[in-house]
């Protein structure tokens, strides 16, 4: 991995690290089905909050990237653009390994852990994107999906197919009659 994209905790003891990068889509490991539609442009500042104590790295920046996916209902290709600021806190991994507790404030809910002396900016961008990606992707909230019978996109044209769903678990009750 490119060392220029590595945020070194020891170097942060001397001064904050200002960064500006365009990260190639192939470097980003996103959730299943999602892909970056182009380079992720990121700029910001990393700083060590407590060089003598816990060695918390705070990374603040702005991220701009387009991502692509397919609609979960109609399978149409869609693209989402993200352009927003972020703030993440990273604690040393040995904090967990030693069984220590880390108290975080209300502003520090976006936390991660680092090892090997620092954080890769690619991992920071990937983590932030995972936080932003929706659990379900729809082309629009009113998407009608595809017909389960003929496969046509119901957003484009209505079909006359009748969907009959018979749950086989209820089949035994179909032949019973109710008597008073």
The answer to whether 86 and 58 are in contact (CB under 8 A) is no
**What's the chain's Rg over C-alpha atoms?**
24
Dist CA 127 CA 48 (whole Å): 19
Dist CA 24 CA 34 (whole Å): 15
Convert the pLDDT of each residue in 125-180 to its tens digit.
998 998 889 888 899 999 999 998 888 999 999 888 887 767 788 877 777 776 76
Convert the pLDDT of each residue in 22-66 to its tens digit.
999 999 988 888 999 999 999 999 999 886 677 899 999 999 999
Domain ranges of the chain: 3-132
Question: Which tokens go with 106?
Answer: 């209300």
């Amino acid at each position: 991995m490119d060392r220029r994209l590595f945020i070194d905790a020891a170097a942060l003891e001397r001064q904050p690290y200002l960064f500006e990068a365009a990260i190639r889509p192939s470097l980003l490991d996103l959730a299943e089905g999602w892909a970056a539609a182009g380079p992720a442009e990121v700029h910001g500042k990393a700083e060590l909050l407590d060089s003598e104590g816990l060695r918390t790295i705070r990374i603040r920046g702005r991220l701009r990237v387009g991502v692509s996916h397919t609609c979960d209902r109609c399978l149409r290709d869609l693209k989402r653009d993200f352009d927003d600021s972020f703030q993440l806190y990273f604690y040393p991994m040995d904090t967990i390994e030693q069984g220590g507790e880390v108290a975080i404030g209300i502003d520090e809910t976006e936390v991660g852990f680092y090892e090997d002396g620092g954080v890769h900016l690619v991992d920071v961008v990937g983590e932030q994107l995972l936080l932003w990606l929706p659990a379900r992707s729809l082309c629009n909230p009113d998407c009608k999906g595809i017909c389960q019978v003929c496969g046509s996109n119901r957003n484009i044209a209505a079909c006359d197919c009748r969907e009959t769903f018979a749950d086989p678990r209820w089949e035994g009750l179909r032949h019973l009659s109710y008597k008073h």
